[in-house]
Structure 1
Amino acid sequence: MESESVPTVELIRAQLRRMRLAAKYSQEEFGRLMHYSASMVSAVELGQRPIDLPFLRRADTVLDTGGLFVALWELARRDREPVWFQPWLDAERSAAQLRGYQPTLVPGLLQTEAYARAVLRTDGALTDERVEQRVANRLDRQAILTRDDPPEFFAVLDERAVRRTGEGYDALMAEQLAHLVECAERPHISIHVIPTDVVFHIGQSGPFILARSAEGGWVGHLETQLGGFLVDSEEGLAALLSRWDGVRNEALSRRQSLDLIKEMMKQWT
């Protein structure tokens, strides 16, 4: 199910129709320029079909909006996230480099749809609708890794995170590990695994992620059972950067990690 923030998305729909009419395009003419059918254009304008980013990017091009619809979509996407998470989203989206550590799970930016859904469903307080909204949000966030100027992403995770499985989850984990391999083979993504024979290390107190801006400034983010918070103090960032050095030094090399993940894939396929 597509996740939409109703006020912002309805504004997008209204502006699409208004600007199409101002350009004197019928739905059929607009659809032809958009490479979509007229029925698809109508369904989007009427709210009968969800709006997606490729549609809006094409609309920005055809209507020469200067990126208006994509910008509005970013606002809608941001509206769908918890308030405590929104400052981190801004930092993540503008980052030139990301460094993240996860002891028990695959990082959200590298999760498949099925894996993300399984993780989010462990929260019994979430309705099925909210789970699907959060899955969509998580997949939307991953677009930063496939854009034209993606950030460098260095991810460290414990081996138990990629060995985690259970009855009925073999296919899910096989798909997730295959996705990790695909991601790790991209030049801007480095995945490193801390093997299980490293019994204790500094990262075991919990996950964290750091973002460096193009100007060189750092900001961090920590999640808790009740939400999360941004770390931007000099002292806090120094501590997280030190912990990053600690977990990275315990992890296998990029190639060794990739070989380990490929070996584990064989267990689930």
Structure 2
Amino acid sequence: MITDVEAATPALCRLQLGSELRQLRLAAGLKGTQVVKKLIWSPSKLSRLEAGENSSVETPDVMALCEIYGADPETRARLQGYAGVTKTKKDWWLTPEYRPVIRPGFKAYLDLEATAAVLQNYEAEFVPGLLQTEAYVHAIYQADGALPTEDLDRLVAVRTTRQEVLHRSDTPLKFTAIINEAVLRRRVGGATIMREQLTHIVNVAESRPNVRVQIVPFRAGVHPGMSGSFFVLHFSERFALKPMVYMENLTDAVVKRSDSAVERYVDAFSELQALAPGPQESLSMIKEAIKEH
């Protein structure tokens, strides 16, 4: 539960609101199909609301659901407060400067990343976004060749602005990155860019106690991350939010919320942590890769 709604971010309010509305529906013994039939809504409207995927939430919609669920006055007032924040404030990634270049699926991820207390990320092909340098990001998107310069600059700004979660003054994000050794060897943008990028990873990992980096070496053989990159997000116990998993590919992005799916990825990440050398040996591997570039 958010204790100071007015000070909360819109992203947190959207996620908390969706979670509490879902809990109210389940407590009332109602299925989503029953609710949307009563309100003459499309099924996607309710599912998006419960998933916290709408950029803003209409207060009348929230009040209509509270009426159906029989929510008490205190709960109604709190949920109305959440909805109000989503209408009066904007997260940085929803501003006109950034919104044109952010896909809906990635917008959903930014909501989660900005709200999470702990982030676990396995990366198979790229340096983790929270550790990328501007030059490395430029090299990735320039290889596509289809982006106007203005959009490319915006995408670079999105990547670098995201990294502020590692430096939050109140509660910095606890970030654990496990990286496939191939990422260290793959030359993105040339030798100079790669040396600077890998040096940046070392500097961040050595200077920030909330950042932990491990490398899965080639010698580890078959491992649980071979099906692709993924993120596991954990939230403060103060909020009614269970851990979630995020994955993306060239055309799509998905957030997994079911307990069974999340448990599999939590277990996979734990196995990867056990397979990978510890932080000190992993940083030594990165330093060796810097010399090779």
1:26 maps to what in 2?
A: none
2:128 aligned with 1:79: no
SS state at 1:144 partner: helix
2:114 aligned with 1:89: no
> 2: distance between equivalents of 1:129 and 1:70?
25
SS state at 1:165 partner: coil
| Alpha carbons 1:78, 1:86 under 8 Å: kept | no
SS state at 2:122 partner: strand
> 2: distance between equivalents of 1:200 and 1:265?
25
Ranges in structure 1 where 5+ consecutive residues have no aligned partner: 1-68
1:113 maps to which of 125, 134, 142: 134
2:258 maps to which of 224, 228, 233: 233
2:177 aligned with 1:155: yes
> 2: distance between equivalents of 1:112 and 1:105?
12
TM (norm. structure 2) is 0.64
Which one-letter code corresponds to 2:215 in the other structure? V
SS state at 1:197 partner: helix
2:205 aligned with 1:184: yes
Q: CA RMSD in A?
A: 2.0
1:263 CA drift (Å): 2.0
> 2: distance between equivalents of 1:227 and 1:126?
18
Structure 1 stretch 195-204 or stretch 180-189: which is displaced more?
Answer: 195-204
Which one-letter code corresponds to 1:242 in the other structure? D
Where do 4+ consecutive residues of structure 1 move more than 3 Å? 69-75
Q: How does 1:31-50 map to 2 (within 5 A)?
A: none
1:135 maps to which of 156, 173, 179: 156
Which one-letter code corresponds to 2:291 in the other structure? K
Pair 188,131 (structure 1): closer, same or farther in 2 beyond 3 Å: same
| Alpha carbons 2:98, 2:154 under 8 Å: kept | no
TM (norm. structure 1) is 0.69
2:233 maps to which of 211, 219, 230: 211
> 1: distance between equivalents of 2:94 and 2:203?
30
Pair 73,225 (structure 1): closer, same or farther in 2 beyond 3 Å: closer
1:131 CA drift (Å): 1.8
Q: How many residues align?
A: 199
Pair 250,182 (structure 1): closer, same or farther in 2 beyond 3 Å: same
1:72 CA drift (Å): 5.9
2:290 aligned with 1:265: yes
Which one-letter code corresponds to 1:109 in the other structure? L
1:71 CA drift (Å): 5.1
Structure 1 stretch 94-103 or stretch 228-237: which is displaced more?
Answer: 228-237
